[in-house]
Structure 1
Amino acid sequence: MAKVYTIHDIAIRLNISKSTVSRALRNHPDVSKDTKAAVFEMAEKLNYQKNILASNLASKSTNLIGVVIPEIARQHFFAQALSGIQKVAKEKGYIVMVCQSNEELQEEINQVRALVNSRVAGLLISLSKETDTFGHLQEALDRDIPVVLFDRGTDQIEVSQVTVDDYKGAFDITNHLIHEGYDNLAHLSGPMSLSISQKRYQGFIDALKSSGKNTAEAIVYQCDNLSLDACEAVDRLLSQKKKPDAVFCMSDYMAIQVIKHLKDRGIKIPEDMAVAGFAGDPITELMDPQISTVEQPAYDIGVQAAKRLIMEAESDDRETLGFINRVLPTAIIPRSSTVKKHSN
């Protein structure tokens, strides 16, 4: 049986590192033209291209990046983040494989294991709302596959993370509602298993505290199904003895659903109740009324996460490289769903 040549064989013959061979074969811009030419010449001489699958298995990785997200439908954020990931991957010679966990831990585990078995060079993951164990991520790390979390992170496992300042975004949008003169604020949170839900809730509470409001009386309703609990949440808000005059929603999609149900019940926005969201989805500008929101740099999150993952995947000394926890800023966009018409 003919010998199956690998990246290792090319590296030995050219007296260069395996990582340099790998980058050259991916046409990486960091590798000189002369080195690329030598690598491709040796690969052809060793009949490397005809044995690429076997050599991938032998060298333990491919030029694939695995991405696992909770969902893409109704999620402009993840569509934008994926665009950023794709841009960086293409520039660096990688191919992106995208999987959805559908907000289920078991599906996330299945997808991660499938990607690991496909010898991906690295994993980019935004955790599902059910994820409370991280053995599947540790399995990838144990097989020398770097993992970078984006958007939804955790402090339960030591990996690099790229997120936004969920706390400050929530704090700022709540302050906006207070400064507009709303007195009885409510918050519709996401599942508290998510770090983003915890941070946005804390930002809401701390903004109330800083304005001298009694947080013990704060109206908070947890929507475990994110957007799907909006109808029940509206019913609960309207059943309060002292109805809230403003509500900060965990997400833009939730805010859209809340506005729909409020309108169905004859509630005027913002005259009877103001509504704010979080994400910066462009659809919020097309709604009537336009929805105040917290803008997230979704595209940049994807770019930063992909750059970090590729840096770790191509590093010859990940231990020295260490891990990063990059937090990107948010910005509030006040619109007519919360801004009162002040008289001159």
Structure 2
Amino acid sequence: MGKVYTIHDIAIRLNISKSTVSRALRNHPDVSKETKMLVHDMASKLNYQKNILASNLASKNTNLIGVVIPEIARQHFFAQALSGIQKVAKEHGYIVMVCQSNEEFLEEINQVNALVNSRVAGILISLSKETNDYKHIQNAQDRQTPVVLFDRGTDKIEISQVLVDDYKGAYEITNHLIQQGYKNIAHLSGPMSLSISQKRYKGFMDALKDAGRSTTDAYVLQCDNLSLDAKEATERILGLKKRPDAIFCMSDYMAIQVLKELKSNGVKVPEDIALAGFAGDPITEIVEPQLSTVEQPAFDIGVQAAKRLIMEIETDDRETLGFIHKILNTNLLVRESTT
């Protein structure tokens, strides 16, 4: 059997960097046509294409990008974010491999370790609700696998993140409810292990405080199982002697469950209780009444996260490149459920 040539061999013969060879082989737009011709000619001479699998293993690099998300079946947000990731990956010659943690920390660890062992070029992660330790992510970075967090981030490790302004979005929709004249606003939060839950809760509380409302008396119910706990939370709200006149849910899917429960109990929205969510899911326009919500730029989050990851994959000096913390704006959508 003849010698198995790698990207390194092509780079040495052409006196260019391995990253340039890699981009040229993937037809990356940043590489000139002349360089691409030289690289492909040399690859042909060395029979590189015939041994591409061995080359990937030898260089510890593939054209695969791993994506780990909590779930996709009930989450329009992640479907849109994946579309953005796929668009950018395709433009740069990468293939996307999607894994679901199912909101389980151990499953997230297993998925990340499997992707690293498969020698993916990089990993995009939206953390599970159970994630409170980041050794598996640090391990991926230590093994020279770039990782970028999106949507759900953390300040516990040094890592690039692409997030939305959860605090501002929650503040704005709570302030909208206050401006509409609602006096007793309840909040259904998510698990406080999630940074998005923490930020949306703080935005809610600060909006009340800035309006001169009592935060001590604010009625907050934590839904650790997200939409699964929304039904029980609504039942508790309806059992109160002094019912809230408005409810802000930390997600649209929770708000849909609340709306269903309110209707089944003969409670009119917004006449009896106003209702708002967070995400901008298309279903909020279909239900009756249409739900006010905070729209997240899901597709753009995917685009920006993928662009950053590819930048970290393809840089020749990752240490100098450093890390970024990018925050994208949300958009308040006022509809029938709060007016």
TM-score, normalization: structure 2?
0.99
Partner of 1:207: 207
Structure 2 residue 243 is the aligned partner of structure 1 residue 243: yes
What is the match of residue 218 of structure 2?
Answer: 218
2:57 pairs with 1:57: yes
SS state of the match for residue 187, structure 2? strand
Q: Distance in 2 between matches of 1:208 and 1:241?
A: 22
SS of 1:272's equivalent in the other structure is coil
How far did 1:241 drift? 2.2
- Answer yes or no: is 1:166 the counterpart of 2:142: no
* 1:157 alignment partner in structure 2: 157
Does 1:94 find its partner at 2:94?
Answer: yes
Tell me which residue corresponds to 1:196: 196
1:26 aligned residue? 26
1:1-344 correspondence runs (5 A): 1-339=1-339
Aligned counterpart, 1:342:
none
Which 4+ runs in 1 deviate beyond 4 A? none
Distance 2:225 2:192 in 1: 11
Which letter maps to 1:318? R
Amino acid at match of 2:86: Q
Give per-residue Cα distances to partners, 1:149-169, cap 9 Å, x unaligned: 000000011110000000000
Deviations 1:12-71, CA, capped at 9 Å, x for gaps: 111111000000111101111111111111111111111111110111111111100000
Partners of 2:248 and 2:330 lie apart in 1 by 16
Unaligned runs of 5+ in 1: 340-344
1:288-343 CA distance string (max 9 Å, x none): 0000000000011001000000011101111111111000001110111111xxxx
Q: Per-residue deviation at 1:2?
A: 2.1
Distance in 1, Cα, partners of 2:240 & 2:301: 39
SS in 2 for 1:66: strand
Distance across 2 between alignment mates of 1:53 and 1:224: 44
Q: Secondary structure at the match of 2:103?
A: coil
The Cα RMSD (Å) is: 0.7
* Percent of matched pairs sharing the same residue: 78
With structure 1 as the length reference, what TM-score do the two structures score? 0.98
- SS state of the match for residue 67, structure 1? strand
Question: What is the DSSP-based 3-state SS (H/G/I as helix, E as strand, rest coil) of the residue aligned with 1:188?
Answer: strand
2: distance between equivalents of 1:196 and 1:162?
Answer: 13
Distance in 2 of aligned mates of 1:135 and 1:48:
36
Following the alignment from structure 2 to structure 1, what is the Cα–Cα distance between the partners of residues 34 and 168? 49
3-state SS of paired residue (2:336): coil
SS of aligned partner of 2:181: coil
Letter in 2 for 1:172: E
Aligned residues: 339
- Where 2:65 maps in the other structure, the secondary structure is strand
Q: Distance in 2 between matches of 1:117 and 1:212?
A: 54
